[in-house]
């Protein structure tokens, strides 16, 4: 049975690993860096996770559940326009609430998804294909513009996650304290026009 201290240490290690991996990527991160951020010794970290890879995989596994929830929330019985704009807004909110997780996921995919390929080709693909079929049904019923459902989903990912993954670029260009200021209104307008039949 896991004690409260063990659970707290495990969470502390994963929080530190998330900080380190989201900045340095998997290859650029070391156990020493994670130990320093966690404020624990390297042997202590290895008591909870037998390798850097195990920590990274634990973070990715946690992230996938969070990442898929907004897409799962699209309901076939809902209004197509509201469902897609709602999905876009949920993804944008995730970029605001989980920027480190977004960068962790992006870094993994940019490396060719070596630790997530099975999950992407399995659960994620199945979910995207299922939601694409829902969107295709709405298109065939004349309720949405004739657009490619997969590319619509990819566009939502790209346009919302950009705010987390390229936060520094947006801040340097706009000089705003909040890089997402006006983002939702802009994306609402963009997708509203795109979706109209």
**What local confidence, expressed as pLDDT, does residue 67 receive?**
85
pLDDT at res. 179: 85
The per-residue pLDDT for 5 is 86
What does the pLDDT read at residue 11? 95
Q: Check residue 162 and give its pLDDT.
A: 94
Per-residue confidence (pLDDT) for residue 77, from 0 to 100: 97
Closest residue by Cα to residue 18 from 29, 4, 5, 7:
29
Residue stretches of the chain with pLDDT short of 70: none
Task: Count CB-CB contacts under 10 A for residue 122.
Answer: 11
Task: Report yes or no: 195 and 81 within 8 Å, Cβ to Cβ.
Answer: yes
The ranges assigned to domains in the chain are: 1-50, 57-195
Cβ neighbour number for residue 91 with a 10 Å cutoff:
22
pLDDT at position 66 is 87
In this structure, CATH architecture of domain 57-195: Orthogonal Bundle (1.10)
pLDDT of residue 8: 93
Q: Please indicate whether the domains covering 1-50 and 57-195 agree at the CATH topology level.
A: no
pTM of the model: 0.88
* CATH number, domain 1-50: 1.10.10.60
């Amino acid at each position: 049975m896991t004690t409260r201290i063990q659970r707290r240490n495990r969470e502390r290690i994963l929080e530190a690993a998330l900080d380190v991996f989201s900045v340095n990527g998997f290859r650029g991160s070391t156990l020493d860096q994670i130990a320093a951020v966690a404020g624990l010794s390297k042997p202590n970290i290895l008591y909870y996770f037998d390798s850097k890879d195990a920590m990274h995989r634990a973070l990715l596994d946690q992230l996938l559940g969070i990442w898929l929830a907004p897409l799962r929330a699209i309901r076939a019985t809902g209004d197509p326009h509201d469902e897609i704009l709602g999905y876009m807004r949920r993804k944008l909110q995730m970029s605001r609430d989980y920027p480190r997780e977004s960068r962790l996921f992006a870094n993994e995919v940019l490396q060719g998804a070596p630790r997530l390929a099975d999950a992407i080709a399995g659960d994620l693909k199945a979910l995207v294909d299922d939601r694409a079929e829902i969107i295709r049904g709405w298109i065939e019923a004349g309720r949405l513009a004739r657009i490619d459902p997969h590319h619509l989903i990819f566009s939502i990912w790209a346009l919302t996650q950009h705010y987390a993954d390229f936060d520094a670029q947006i801040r340097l260009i706009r000089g705003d304290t909040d890089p997402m200021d006006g983002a939702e209104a802009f994306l609402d307008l963009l997708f509203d026009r795109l979706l109209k039949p």
